[in-house]
Amino acid sequence: MSKQLVLIDCPDAKGLVYNITKVIYDLGLNIISNHEYVDSNSGYFFMRTVLEGSHPEEQFREKLSEVLPGEANIRLSALRKKPIVILATKEPHCLGDLLLRNADDELPCDIKAVISNHDHLRKLTESFEIPYHHISSENRSREEHEQKILACLDQYEPDYLVLAKYMRIFTPQFVKHYPHRIINIHHSFLPAFIGASPYQQAFDRGVKIIGSTSHFVTENLDEGPIIVQDVIPVNHTFTAEGMAQAGRDIEKNVLAKSLKLVLENRVFIFKDKTIVFD
Looking at the annotation, which residues are catalytic? Answer: 222
Tell me which residue of 180, 200, 183 sits closest to 192, measured CA to CA.
200
Q: Is residue 108 part of the contact set for its own copies (CB under 8 A)?
A: no
Is residue 272 within 8 A of residue 222, CB to CB? The reply is no
Total residues contacting its own copies by CB under 8 A comes to: 67
Cα dihedral 50/9/107/179 (nearest 10):
160
* Closer by beta carbon to its own copies, 135 or else 240: 240
Q: How far is the CB of 235 from its own copies (least distance, A)?
A: 6
Residue span 201-240 as binding mask against its own copies, x where in contact by CB under 8 A, dash where not:
----xxxxx-x-------------xxxxxxx-x-xxx-x-
Q: How far is the CB of 151 from its own copies (least distance, A)?
A: 29
Near its own copies in 125-184, by CB under 8 A: 127-128
Among 7, 27, 72, 124, binds its own copies (CB under 8 A): 124
Residue span 55-94 as binding mask against its own copies, x where in contact by CB under 8 A, dash where not:
------------------------------------xxx-
Helices (H), the chain: 16-26, 57-67, 93-103, 122-127, 142-154, 172-177, 198-205, 240-263
* Closer by beta carbon to its own copies, 158 or else 225: 225
Which residues are registered as beta bridge partners of 268? Answer: 275
Among 6, 84, 96, 164, binds its own copies (CB under 8 A): 96
146-151's contacts with Cβ under 8 Å and 24+ in sequence apart are: 146/170, 146/171, 146/173, 146/174, 149/87, 149/115, 149/174, 150/174, 150/177
Beta-carbon neighbour count of residue 162 at 10 Å?
Answer: 30
Among 11, 36, 110, 177, binds its own copies (CB under 8 A): 36
Q: How far is the CB of 157 from its own copies (least distance, A)?
A: 28
CA distance 261 to 264: 5
Q: Is residue 27 part of the contact set for its own copies (CB under 8 A)?
A: no
- Which of these ranges, 30-38, 74-82, 109-117, 153-161, lies near its own copies under the rule CB under 8 A? 30-38
- Strands of 65-131, DSSP E: 73-78, 82-88, 109-116
What is the CB-side half-sphere exposure of residue 231 using CA atoms within 13 A? 10
Rg over alpha carbons for the chain, rounded to the nearest Å, is 21
Give the binding site for its own copies (CB under 8 A): 14-18, 21-22, 24-25, 28, 30-34, 36-40, 91-93, 96-97, 100-101, 103-104, 106, 124, 127-128, 189-193, 205-209, 211, 225-231, 233, 235-237, 239, 245, 248-249, 253, 256-257, 272-276
